[in-house]
């Protein structure tokens, strides 16, 4: 690990992870609603306006589009959580467009699971 755990911004990390979890929950509900539109999860999505009633082709297309948006949103917040883990909280509070774009990218130097396994 490259950064000292004592200096992690746990509150900021938690905020980003909660945002990612919201998108992950939505994706799970979309998949469940696809197989059983009568489920409570589906009803919740209809109420939120994220999963409207369409003809079968339109419904599948809408599901794929919403799924991609939610996936990208979750990934962005996961990337952000990692990239801001030890920054000065003031930078997070006064977020510039440059930092938003930089911290939203996949982390540079983050070991893959394959690399981690081969090291041990």
pLDDT at 43: 47
Say if CB 89 and CB 12 are below 8 A apart: yes
* Total residue count of the chain as it appears in this document: 120
Instruction: Using alpha carbons, select from 69, 38, 33, 36 the residue that is nearest to residue 51.
Output: 33
Q: In this structure, what token pair is assigned to residue 24?
A: 């992950």
Q: Tell me what pLDDT residue 1 has.
A: 47
Whole-model pTM: value is 0.73
Q: Tens of pLDDT along 72-99?
A: 999 999 999 999 999 999 999 999 999 9
Alpha-carbon distance of 23 to 75, in angstroms, equals 9
- Each residue's pLDDT tens digit, 17-40: 999 999 999 888 888 777 776 664
């Amino acid at each position: 690990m490259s950064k000292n755990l004592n200096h992690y911004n746990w509150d900021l990390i938690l905020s980003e992870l909660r945002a990612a979890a919201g998108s992950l929950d939505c994706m799970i509900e979309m998949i469940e609603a696809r197989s059983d539109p009568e489920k409570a999860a589906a009803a919740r999505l209809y109420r939120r306006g994220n999963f409207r009633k369409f003809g079968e082709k339109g419904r599948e297309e809408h599901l794929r589009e919403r799924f991609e948006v939610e996936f990208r949103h979750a990934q962005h917040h996961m990337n952000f959580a990692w990239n801001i883990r030890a920054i000065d909280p003031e930078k997070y509070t006064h977020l510039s467009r440059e930092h938003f774009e930089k911290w939203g990218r996949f982390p540079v130097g983050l070991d893959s699971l394959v690399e981690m396994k081969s090291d041990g």
